[in-house]
Chain A
């Protein structure tokens, strides 16, 4: 089973500034990152080195992401691959998934979101997706979509569960409202009223109802974070 700490990922991104921040962000999240700026180099690395996962931009100089994916898969390499695309084109997403991509992120994506997706695809590939997440006295059953605190069950709705899981996976790290909204609802949902705040209030109330604490800390004017400093 991999943890983020020993995951080696390849990032193929031709936009220099973006690549720099993505590399830095993933490294802060504990990934070991190799960053290349063109498709031919990405293909070369993928065929000669062992990676736990790769993020391929669809549009880049040299080979494009889709052809690399096709070649890598036809050579029998099943390394988890995420496609990143700046186009809205659904065709590419569909084609990518057909070609054997494990997931896709559309640009602009949050590095935090990319890290979460990378962890998820590697976990899935390992076949050992944890079914339970535990932090302190809080347990999250990822299969039954249930939370429990001190042994008491807290029933969460789909949205609440998605939100809580995202926060719980990165204790101590701020998630802005925008990041939470995008992760749980998608960025096209623009309700104006702050749906994230309402959902967090509901989660807290549900935990309080069974005498527990949801362990979510508000960061005023920014967002929320799950209490605790380091991932367990």
Chain B
């Protein structure tokens, strides 16, 4: 439901540190017990027959722990002592080194886990700050827009048939709508980046939704022919409002960038357990749009319709974010003189 999946997986991995660390500690304890107990491996072995170790400070009843490397005197004494079991002195130290290593690993595990918790907490805080920031920006930007819109709406209502006021007001309202749309898209993208884009997943009839867009397509293409093939009854799990935007963006994008006179096609079919929505339009085969950059923010390809295109170039990048967050995939490819955008969304 939330786009926190990536962090979630890492959390799972990190949680494995706890049992792993406990296991290491257990092994460490078991080995320590085995090697260091009275009459254990060390005691019954060479240590019992160790020659004069009283040169070193007697700490233990049985002559104290094995000398450390910097205790040169003891070291040399030990090197010279006989070894009836044929075990070299280095072998005696092996269990201790092993234990120390395991202990170190255990500490490392605990340390890493604590560090990760810290990082995680910081990441959560950063995400919360970012979400808060985008919400505040949205509020700050939208409030003046709301005031502006209500003032103009009021003016139109009281224009008493003054065509000039009505027309100017209408133009302002149209620009306000563009700004609203832009603010909303930027915020959705910001939320997606911050990992705070939450989808309200529900079962919805994608076929019905695409049919509505097919109707829109027939109204906005002008003279260009339209071809539609929409399979009935395809139900997906998605956020209705966002997936509607995706379909609308794909459709209006195809109309905007269609090569004049070429067919625009809109298809929805079920392929196994995904619903595949494909929208295609004609392109200039000599200078086709860059399919690698088409989902980039603010990317606006060369147009077959001249340069009077509006829009910030955010529609497709938002479409990509939404489709991916819904567990689907989106791609673009050039097929001859056509560009095909395909969105695959898992069916419910």
Q: Which residues of A contact B (CB under 8 A)?
A: 15, 17-18, 21-22, 24-25, 28, 59, 86-91, 93-94, 107-112, 157-159, 173-174, 176-179, 181-182, 185-193, 195, 198-199, 202, 219-223
A21-B150, A188-B184, A189-B252 as given contacts; A176 in contact with B170, CB under 8 Å: yes
- Please tell me which one of the listed residues B135, B166, B310 contacts residue A174 in the complex, with CB atoms under 8 A apart: B166
Docked pose: A111 CA to B157 CA in angstroms: 11
Which residues of chain B come closer than 8 Å to A187, judged between CB atoms? 177, 180-181, 184
Docked pose: A21 CA to B153 CA in angstroms: 9
Report whether B149 and A25 are in contact in the complex, using a CB–CB cutoff of 8 Å.
no
Which residues of chain B come closer than 8 Å to A190, judged between CB atoms? 178, 181, 252, 310-311
Report whether A222 and B166 are in contact in the complex, using a CB–CB cutoff of 8 Å.
yes
Docked pose: A87 CA to B173 CA in angstroms: 20
| Interface-lining segment among B30-38, B103-111, B113-121, B212-220 | B212-220
Chain B nearest Cβ from A181, distance in angstroms: 7
Residues 186-226 of B, flagged 1 when their CB comes within 8 A of A and 0 if not, give 01100100000011100000000000100110011010000
Which residues of chain A come closer than 8 Å to B239, judged between CB atoms? 90
Which residues of chain A come closer than 8 Å to B157, judged between CB atoms? 25, 28, 173-174
Residue of B nearest to A219 (CB): B166
A190-B311, A192-B252, A192-B310 as given contacts; A176 in contact with B173, CB under 8 Å: yes
Chain B nearest Cβ from A55, distance in angstroms: 13
Which residues of chain A come closer than 8 Å to B154, judged between CB atoms? 21, 24-25, 111
Report whether B149 and A189 are in contact in the complex, using a CB–CB cutoff of 8 Å.
no
Docked pose: A181 CA to B188 CA in angstroms: 21
Report whether B219 and A198 are in contact in the complex, using a CB–CB cutoff of 8 Å.
yes
Chain A nearest Cβ from B222, distance in angstroms: 6
Chain A nearest Cβ from B40, distance in angstroms: 61
Report whether B146 and A182 are in contact in the complex, using a CB–CB cutoff of 8 Å.
no
Report whether B139 and A87 are in contact in the complex, using a CB–CB cutoff of 8 Å.
yes
Chain A nearest Cβ from B178, distance in angstroms: 7
Report whether A191 and B220 are in contact in the complex, using a CB–CB cutoff of 8 Å.
yes
Which residues of chain A come closer than 8 Å to B178, judged between CB atoms? 190
Contact count band on B: 35 or more
Residue of B nearest to A22 (CB): B150
Report whether A108 and B252 are in contact in the complex, using a CB–CB cutoff of 8 Å.
no
Interface pairs (23), CB distance under 8 Å: A15-B146, A22-B150, A25-B154, A86-B139, A86-B146, A90-B239, A94-B200, A107-B142, A178-B173, A178-B174, A182-B177, A186-B248, A189-B216, A190-B181, A190-B310, A190-B311, A191-B255, A192-B252, A192-B256, A202-B219, A220-B163, A221-B163, A222-B156
Report whether B143 and A15 are in contact in the complex, using a CB–CB cutoff of 8 Å.
yes
Report whether B170 and A221 are in contact in the complex, using a CB–CB cutoff of 8 Å.
yes
Docked pose: A208 CA to B135 CA in angstroms: 49
Residue of A nearest to B211 (CB): A158
Residue of A nearest to B248 (CB): A189
A21-B150, A21-B154, A112-B153 as given contacts; A177 in contact with B170, CB under 8 Å: yes
Report whether A18 and B156 are in contact in the complex, using a CB–CB cutoff of 8 Å.
no
Report whether B143 and A86 are in contact in the complex, using a CB–CB cutoff of 8 Å.
yes
Which residues of chain A come closer than 8 Å to B54, judged between CB atoms? none
Residue in A15, A90, A157, A176 whose Cβ sees the most chain B Cβ within 10 Å: A176
Which residues of chain B come closer than 8 Å to A192, judged between CB atoms? 220, 252, 255-256, 309-311
Residue of B nearest to A220 (CB): B163
Report whether A90 and B220 are in contact in the complex, using a CB–CB cutoff of 8 Å.
no
B291 within 8 A of A: no
Chain A nearest Cβ from B113, distance in angstroms: 31
B294 within 8 A of A: no
Docked pose: A222 CA to B166 CA in angstroms: 6
Report whether B244 and A17 are in contact in the complex, using a CB–CB cutoff of 8 Å.
no
Docked pose: A190 CA to B184 CA in angstroms: 13
Residue of B nearest to A94 (CB): B200
Which residues of chain B come closer than 8 Å to A22, judged between CB atoms? 150
Report whether A18 and B147 are in contact in the complex, using a CB–CB cutoff of 8 Å.
yes
- From 127 to 158 in chain B, residues with beta carbon under 8 angstroms from any chain A beta carbon are 135, 138-139, 142-143, 145-151, 153-154, 156-157
Residue in A22, A187, A202 whose Cβ sees the most chain B Cβ within 10 Å: A187
Chain A nearest Cβ from B271, distance in angstroms: 27
- Please tell me which one of the listed residues A93, A108, A188, A222 contacts residue B142 in the complex, with CB atoms under 8 A apart: A108
- Please tell me which one of the listed residues A24, A93, A107 contacts residue B146 in the complex, with CB atoms under 8 A apart: A107
Which residues of chain A come closer than 8 Å to B166, judged between CB atoms? 174, 219, 221-222
Residue of A nearest to B179 (CB): A108
Chain A to chain B: the 6 pairs with minimum beta-carbon distance, closest first = A108-B146, A21-B150, A221-B167, A86-B142, A178-B173, A191-B220
Residue in B150, B177, B310 whose Cβ sees the most chain A Cβ within 10 Å: B150
A87-B139, A189-B248 as given contacts; A21 in contact with B255, CB under 8 Å: no
Report whether A111 and B180 are in contact in the complex, using a CB–CB cutoff of 8 Å.
no
Which residues of chain A come closer than 8 Å to B215, judged between CB atoms? 157-159
- From 245 to 269 in chain B, residues with beta carbon under 8 angstroms from any chain A beta carbon are 245, 248, 252, 255-256
